[in-house]
């Protein structure tokens, strides 16, 4: 019969883990949460590392999502500037925006590579991405050289995920 861990089953498990992580002595943690010292000690030794690992993974995924969101925001702005520069016939600004957009795409690709495979697949097949790609390529129609460079960057950003 498997032995239940009273700490893992405890409704305030996160608080207990948090206290243990900050280095609180297991004796005082046991007292505070009305647990036995041996249960807290066993939990700290046998279960806490796995909990921490899981928490770290969740945290890192959240951070990556956040970065991805920021780069997407930058990309929206770069494309907005590109559109306005294009309308104004400001070739120089348009090229700067294209260069920025290309950097964003490379960054998106790298970020996606650091995330799990599912996310890479999502990035490549999401309607949002396909739409964005069409917008970029369309906006670059008059600038064939830049268009080629961006297409190349898109391709290399998608490498390894097809
Ligand atoms: Zn436990």
Å from CA of 19 to ligand 1 middle: 14
pTM to 2 decimal places: 0.44
- Buried (b) or exposed (e) across 95-119, using 16+ Cβ within 10 A? eebbebbbebbebbbebbeebeeeb
On the question of pLDDT at 51 being above 90, the answer is no
Is the model more confident about 131 or about 123? 131
Mean pLDDT of the chain: 80
Length of the chain: 162
Å from CA of 146 to ligand 1 middle: 57
Summarize pLDDT for 62-82 with one digit per residue, the tens.
Answer: 777 787 788 888 889 999 999
Pick from 82, 85, 84: nearest CA to 137: 82
Å from CA of 133 to ligand 1 middle: 48
Predicted pLDDT at 124: 53
Å from CA of 65 to ligand 1 middle: 30
CB atoms inside a 10 Å sphere around CB 124: 16
pLDDT > 90: percent of the chain: 22
Distances from the Cα of 36 to the Cα of 2, 4, 52, 132, angstroms: 18, 13, 22, 57
Predicted pLDDT at 128: 66
Å from CA of 64 to ligand 1 middle: 29
Å from CA of 58 to ligand 1 middle: 19
CA pseudo-torsion sign 9, 10, 11, 14? negative
Predicted pLDDT at 116: 54
Alpha-carbon dihedral 26, 29, 35, 41, rounded to 10 degrees: -20
Å from CA of 68 to ligand 1 middle: 35
């Amino acid at each position: 019969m498997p032995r239940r861990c009273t700490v893992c089953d405890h409704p305030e498990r996160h608080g207990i883990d948090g206290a243990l992580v900050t280095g609180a002595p297991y004796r005082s943690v046991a007292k505070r949460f009305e647990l036995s010292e041996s249960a807290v000690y066993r939990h700290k030794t046998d279960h806490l590392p796995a909990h921490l690992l899981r928490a770290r993974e969740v945290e890192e995924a959240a951070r990556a999502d956040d970065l991805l969101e920021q780069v997407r925001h930058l990309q929206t702005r770069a494309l907005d500037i590109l559109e306005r520069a294009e309308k104004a016939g400001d070739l120089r600004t348009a090229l700067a925006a294209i260069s920025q957009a290309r950097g964003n795409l490379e960054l998106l690709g790298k970020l996606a590579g650091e995330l799990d495979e599912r996310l890479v697949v999502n990035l490549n097949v999401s309607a949002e991405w396909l739409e964005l790609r069409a917008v970029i390529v369309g906006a670059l129609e008059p600038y064939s050289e830049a268009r080629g460079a961006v297409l190349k960057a898109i391709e290399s950003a998608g490498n390894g995920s097809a």
